[in-house]
Structure 1
Amino acid sequence: MSDSFSPTPLIDTPIAFVDLETTGGSVAEHRITEIGVVQVDQGGVSRWSTLVNPEQPIPAFIQSLTGITDDMVRDAPTFASFAAELFERLDGNLFIAHNASFDRGFLRGEFQRVGLTFNPDVLCTVKLSRALWPHEKRHGLDALIERHALEPLARHRALADADLLWQFWQRLHGAWAPEVLRTHIDRTMRRYRIAGDITEDIIDAAPAGHGVYAFFDASDAPLYVGRSVRVRQRVRAHLTGERRSARELRIAEQVRRVQWRDTGGEVGALLTEAKWIGTLRPVHNRQPRIGRTEALAAPWPFQTAIVFEERGQDSACESVFHVVDRWCYLGAVQTLEAARALAAAPSEPIFEPMTFRILQTHLARGLRVTPLGQQEAVDAEAREVSPSV
């Protein structure tokens, strides 16, 4: 197939089709033995490959599979010796690979060992093939060779397999209408470079369940505070989702940092969101307008601070203990001991209108709380409290 094919009618960045051979399947334990890259941009197609000294023995069955032996890599360069050159070559390219998480994971691990952060946007040809041909059962590289009449120069060698992906890419553009192919590419691609220093890996560390998140701009000024029952999913949608409002697009363009807090449940998320909005005063949140006179009709119905526990939907999640005193949300901690210490800290709680409104509603619904005034009360079983407020 001709290399003169225009590669990027649907992609506005250069593309790198990448394949690796390794000593095994574990990023932590194994190393790369060969790298093959087919780069495609408006200037044409270029190919680059090298054997790599893994600095560890290659298992016999992998030598048999790939044909790469210990003797072949003994005098090959180590990854560290060409890491900077390879990083520059791949930087800014859409990274396309078969079972892309494997290849990206190994390269990311190797780059980390030499102090480089590798977070390209990634398109997996296995996932793309499944999306385009959902009724087919097999989507391995051998299946693609057979189904699309690809022409292998070899198998289980890095550059030859990377070239097969380039051939597959060309076949796609002949088999599907541009708008259909664009849709499936957009849905399949994982965008690891998002905004500022935010990457997909960072977002993956966000809570899967209830919590609160905040966005900050380049000067670290607060932009927006939100809450969600699925924080990780919501943050990702804010920054990379297709169906974003004009307001969300404006916010996403400014975001350079994100922080979050796991609240364990809905009430903690409501209280934390209100606290962060009141403290940070982000420019894209409306400040609540609730008069202090509301509190005069309902004095604090307890003699001490209170604590209530929330646990995420996943039973493996740790409990979160929320502490409130005189309609002031003091914060969330991980243990009852820490809750006692937080309540006992010398401070004068300041009435928070939103905390009053949120807690008033949920106490009326039977929120289970425990007074924190005395040791006996702390250790007692939490009871339902439904004061008339």
Structure 2
Amino acid sequence: MSDSSLPSPVIDAPIAFVDLETTGGSVAEHRITEIGVVQIGPSGVSRWSTLVNPGQPIPPFIRSLTGISDDMVRDAPTFASLASELFERLEGRLFVAHNANFDRGFLRGEFQRVGLTFNPDVLCTVKLSRALWPHEKRHGLDALIERHALAPLARHRALADADLLWQFWQRLHGLWPLDVLRAQIDRTVRRYRIAGDITEDMIDAAPAGHGVYAFFDGSDVPLYVGRSVRVRQRVRAHLTGERRSSREIRIAEQVRRVEWRATGGEVGALLTEAQWIGTLRPIHNRQPRFARAEPLGSSWPFDAAVVFEESGEHAPNERMFHVVDRWCYLGAAATLEGALSLVASCGEPVFEPSTFHILQGRLARGLRVMPLVGVAAPADASVD
């Protein structure tokens, strides 16, 4: 299929097929040496490529693989000098790449270094190939060349590999009905455009392990409170995930602000979630049906406030000390000193039915707590 005979549009957005060559596989340590872009839109097809001076030597293995040498990039532009032009080419387009997390990650890192935020919607052609041909074992670019009779101009050069993706895209339109292809692409696209002031960088700051999160709309009305063993991953899935329920999509469309709190473990997450739901009364959460009056047998079994420590397996550094007094959850602190300060700063505890119901069974099953009576501990002290 020639460039002048474009296939029927399977998506409405303009597209950029992108490939990079780099000095290695680490976004933090390595840099881009070549960029290739094939742009598809209402005006047709255009191609753009450039070598990039990475500011570091190209390892011998990479030189052998790509044919790009230190001499070739010595007088090439730096990424900073071409960032604005490239950003303009990619902005507003669906970003299509093979193993797209690699290419997007490198470009996002480079754009970030020059003060630009790069969060395009992304389609990975590896994932798309797996979705359309699940019985096939190989989905690398060489496998696609063989399977779909693609014509490589070269291999491991940026523009040539980007052009292979454009060829693959054209082949798809002759192999699948348009509605099937459109539905599969829609399921495979990962959407990074986040509403309000929420950015990928903000989500990266969320707790890696156990915690609680809350979504708010543009008027700061609480929408939803949830908990997770991996808060960062769960928040990202809520807002940009590929597999979301219709309810999650409705909530995500309204979200303009997110709050979160690390809890270190499951019990702290349960206590915090229940407290936030009771306080915020988010419109998409069911309110727990606990009796407000203290039930029989609910007397506090300790002489003072108690503390228990949690540190989850997914983020062992997110250690937290949780404080409870007379079935009232006072909060959590990163140190035992902080836990003591919580007791000192809180007023008269008020019985919380949710805290009672969450803790009574766990105490019976051996949750280890320590009374906070006359305790004076250094900041790094832990509960034995």
TM-score, with normalisation over the residues of structure 1? 0.85
CA distance in 2, matches of 1:8, 1:187: 19
Q: Structure 2: 5+ residue runs without aligned partners?
A: none
CA distance in 2, matches of 1:60, 1:243: 44
Deviations 1:235-282 (A, max 9, x none): 344334545244x44322110222222323332222101222233343
Contact conserved, 2:23 with 2:58, CA < 8 A, in 1?
Answer: yes
Q: Is 2:168 the partner of 1:168?
A: yes
User: Taking structure 1 as reference, are residues 210 and 78 closer, same or farther at Cα in structure 2, changes over 3 Å only?
Assistant: closer
* SS class of match (1:374): coil
Contact conserved, 1:7 with 1:40, CA < 8 A, in 2?
Answer: no
CA distance in 2, matches of 1:254, 1:268: 28
| Aligned partner letter, 1:218 | G
CA distance in 1, matches of 2:139, 2:288: 53
Size of the aligned set, in residue pairs, is: 381
Q: Give the corresponding residue for 1:312.
A: 312
Deviations 1:310-346 (A, max 9, x none): 3324484544321011222111123333323322335
Q: Give the corresponding residue for 1:128.
A: 128
Q: Give the corresponding residue for 2:18.
A: 18
Q: Is 2:58 the partner of 1:66?
A: no
Q: Which segment drifts farther, 225-234 or 162-171?
A: 225-234
Runs of 4+ in 1 over 6 A off after TM superposition: 376-382
TM-fit CA distance, 1:161: 1.4
CA distance in 1, matches of 2:236, 2:253: 14
TM-fit CA distance, 1:69: 3.3
What does residue range 1-389 of structure 1 map to in structure 2 within 5 Å? 1-7=1-7, 9-199=9-199, 202-203=202-203, 206-207=206-207, 209-239=209-239, 240=241, 242-246=243-247, 248-287=248-287, 292-294=292-294, 298-314=298-314, 316=316, 318-345=318-345, 347-375=347-375
CA distance in 2, matches of 1:130, 1:290: 47
| Aligned partner letter, 1:198 | I
User: Taking structure 1 as reference, are residues 356 and 157 closer, same or farther at Cα in structure 2, changes over 3 Å only?
Assistant: same
User: Taking structure 1 as reference, are residues 366 and 154 closer, same or farther at Cα in structure 2, changes over 3 Å only?
Assistant: closer
User: Taking structure 1 as reference, are residues 40 and 109 closer, same or farther at Cα in structure 2, changes over 3 Å only?
Assistant: same
Q: Percent identity?
A: 78
* SS class of match (1:198): coil
CA distance in 2, matches of 1:199, 1:8: 33
RMSD of the TM alignment (CA)? 3.1
TM-fit CA distance, 1:185: 2.7
| Aligned partner letter, 2:269 | A
* SS class of match (2:347): coil
Contact conserved, 2:16 with 2:90, CA < 8 A, in 1?
Answer: yes
CA distance in 2, matches of 1:377, 1:161: 61
TM-fit CA distance, 1:87: 0.7
Q: Which segment drifts farther, 190-199 or 34-43?
A: 190-199
Deviations 1:282-330 (A, max 9, x none): 3434555655532686333321001123332448454432101122211
| Aligned partner letter, 1:215 | F
| Aligned partner letter, 1:330 | L
CA distance in 1, matches of 2:346, 2:24: 57
Contact conserved, 1:214 with 1:260, CA < 8 A, in 2?
Answer: yes
CA distance in 2, matches of 1:340, 1:211: 21
* SS class of match (2:302): coil
TM-score, with normalisation over the residues of structure 2? 0.86
TM-fit CA distance, 1:377: 12
TM-fit CA distance, 1:173: 1.9
Deviations 1:135-163 (A, max 9, x none): 43433222222221111222222111111
